[in-house]
Amino acid sequence: MRSLNWKLAGALLLVVMVTIGLMAYLMNVGTASEFREYASQSSQNYVQSVASVLGSFYERDQDWTGIDEVLADLLRSSSDRLVVADSEGIVVGDTGRDWLGDPASDAGLSGGTAVVSSGEDVGQVYLFSSFARGGRGFGYGGGSQQQVAASNEQDFLDRVNHWLIMVAIIAAVVALALGLVLIWQIVRPVKLLNRGARQVAEGNLACRVDIRSKDELGELGRSFNAMAASLEGAEAERRRMIADVSHELRTPLTVIEGTVDGIQDGVFPADKEHLDAIREQTALLTRLTADLRDLSLADSGQLRLHLAATDIKDVLQRSLLTFAAPAGSKGIGLGSDLAPDLPRVEIDAARMDQVLGNLITNAIRHTPAGGRITVSARAIEGDRARGVDSPSVLVSVADTGEGIAPEHLPHVFDRFYRVEESRSRGDGGAGLGLAIVRQMVQAHGGTVWVESQPGRGSTFRFALPVRSSGR
């Protein structure tokens, strides 16, 4: 049987049947044995009390005359038989009436209970009790083979058995019904998860399962939904990425193609100006592909950092030197504020050059002539609000440029995110610079964030842990 439903139901049926069947059987055997014990005990007590009454009877008359009436009164039930033999062993009373006057030994009577009167044995009383089972007689007082056909006790046991069977059937039905409800509660979520997993495998990432229970299966359902949501997000991200990348590649490729076509057709001369345009676009393509490669390496955890304990001041000063000319040519002042005795940090200097390069390039791009860019560094113990919980070196690149509107701030580190599409594109930014900055800083175990006031400037800060484990 393939279905889990049927397997569990089959297992439950088996368990219920075996348990209840065994219980009914054991109760049957136990009840019969206990009842026999009880009947035997009560017969013993009964015959004792009969003997004592007979003793009193004999004491009064010193004779057995009239004993039959007394015996008839003493009978517990019509299926019992009381026989009395006198001290000579002659039957003087018999509720069965067959053996009256016969010697007790002829009737096969033996092992009776003594009737005592004034301290003397004056006879024996025998009881044939009617507990018959499998054709065997059972009684006190006789080796008689008398069979007692009708048996109150057996009737009683039969009635008990009947009830036991009824109770067992009702218990089995109730147990099965409850069990089936429980099985359904287990199987339903499993079926839903199975169907959901198949849908996800077929590419329907929007599929979610509706399991509300608070147990492990509910948890599994929530994990499944979270997994599907994350896959859906990753898929959307992948599509967006492909669209963005092809969009970014199209502009330089169109320029290159148009210029080359123009030169080939003799529309443009193959002079420096046109070759420079082609060169500029290929440089753009090279940077774009390098950025994309870095991001994908960082995504897959394969970005290799050549970490070394470094004086960050050297790295910062090198960047300040590199960008002094571009800043100066735009009429922007580039200064620094570096705290003395900065602790050494474990960094990949080339990657740190890339981070600082992207931040300073952005600052130059978004700061008008006459503005100022300040690169600063200092040691901090931590910054709870920013999630920095260990001693770090805090590096800031602050500009007095246009700033970033609050609605854009949460997104500037996203891939291909540009605040003003057309203007940034004109400047050659693909919206990957800050995404790279974030990936690199995080790869160093650090944290990056931005503070900005539109019209007053922006400050990008990143904290590098003093004992960075890096990757």
Please identify which residue in 115, 168, 315, 404 interacts with ligand ADP, judged by CB under 6 A.
404
List C-alpha distances in Å: 338 to 173, 335, 378, 407, 465: 83, 10, 7, 32, 17
Cβ-based nearer residue to ligand ADP, 81 or 366: 366
Q: Which stretch binds ligand ADP (CB under 6 A): 216-224, 343-351, 362-370, 381-389?
A: 362-370
Least separation in angstroms between residue 429's CB and ligand ADP is 2
Cβ-based nearer residue to ligand ADP, 132 or 363: 363
- Burial classification of residue 2, based on how many CB atoms lie within 10 Å of its CB (0-12 exposed, 13-18 middle, 19 or more buried): exposed
Q: Is 402 in the site for ligand ADP (CB under 6 A)?
A: yes
Least separation in angstroms between residue 411's CB and ligand ADP is 8
Residues 6+ apart with CB under 8 A from 176: 12, 13, 16
Residue (of 8, 131, 158) closest to 76 by Cα position? 131
Cβ-based nearer residue to ligand ADP, 49 or 246: 246
Q: Is 354 in the site for ligand ADP (CB under 6 A)?
A: no
Cβ-based nearer residue to ligand ADP, 153 or 402: 402
Which is it for the CA torsion 161, 162, 166, 167, positive or negative? negative
List C-alpha distances in Å: 380 to 302, 338, 339, 395, 449: 30, 13, 11, 10, 15
Adjacent-strand bridge partners of 383: 388
Cβ-based nearer residue to ligand ADP, 35 or 417: 417
Q: Which stretch binds ligand ADP (CB under 6 A): 124-132, 257-265, 273-281, 394-402?
A: 394-402
Residues 303 and 294: beta-carbon distance below 8 Å: yes
Q: Is 319 in the site for ligand ADP (CB under 6 A)?
A: no
List C-alpha distances in Å: 72 to 76, 93, 137: 9, 10, 21
Residue (of 156, 123, 209, 151) closest to 35 by Cα position? 156
Least separation in angstroms between residue 364's CB and ligand ADP is 9
Cβ-based nearer residue to ligand ADP, 186 or 245: 245
Please identify which residue in 81, 351, 366, 444 interacts with ligand ADP, judged by CB under 6 A.
366
Q: Is 248 in the site for ligand ADP (CB under 6 A)?
A: no
CA torsion angle for 293, 294, 299, 301 (degrees, to 10)?
A: 110
Q: Is 362 in the site for ligand ADP (CB under 6 A)?
A: yes
Enumerate binding residues for ligand ADP (CB under 6 A).
358, 362-363, 366, 399, 401-402, 404, 412, 417-420, 424, 429-435, 458
